[in-house]
Amino acid sequence: MRVFISGGCKNGKSTYAQRIAKHHCADHLYYIATMTATDSEDLERIAKHRQERDGLGFTTIEQPLHIENILINCYHTGSFLLDSLTALMSNEMFSVHDSFDNNAYARVSAGLIKVLANIQQIVIVSDYIYSDSMLYNPFIETYRESLAALDRLTAKHCDVVLEAAYTQIIVHKGNHIFRDTFHEIS
């Protein structure tokens, strides 16, 4: 089963995603970490996520670029948690200091489609960063538009689409699957 979880920052998405991935674990449990630290706040967030996973049985694979490369290093029959599309898109789009890659969406979406074609048990996390009304420079707007397109693509290919809002889980797609499969972890 493929599950997509989006929502605002610090709404419990990662914790909930861990529970879903663990619930579906067959033989291998993978945490695909895409975030690269750029400051002390990022380091604290990464440390917090590692602490939350401690003892849960995840094998962590750092994959900040080229998401399709996880297919080389993992058993495809495992249960995966990809956290997050937000960081992955940012890494791909802004990977070289002071530069911008306008082709990042095409590369990330192609890689993600390969992953989704080969992995049956995956939970994918993304941050909902579209609700403010600020005007951003063209590079940031392109990033936001690319992430939104990537989120829509992911939602299309997933069986269940969830939103974390104010620590509540809202089901947007696959309500019957969610109700039948995940009621005990809600």
Instruction: Give the model confidence (pLDDT) of 30-80 as tens digits.
Output: 999 999 888 898 889 888 888 888 888 999 999 999 999 999 989 999 999
Q: Which residues pair with 160 in a beta bridge?
A: 3
CATH number of residue 87's parent domain: 3.40.50.300
Is the separation of the CB atoms in 6 and 150 below 8 Å? no
DSSP H/E element including 165: strand 160-165
Query: Residue 10 carries which DSSP code?
Result: T
Give me the number of domains the chain comprises: 1
Residue 173 belongs to domain spanning: 2-185
Q: Using CA of residue 136, residue 138, residue 140, residue 141, what is the dihedral sign?
A: positive
pTM above 0.95, yes or no: no
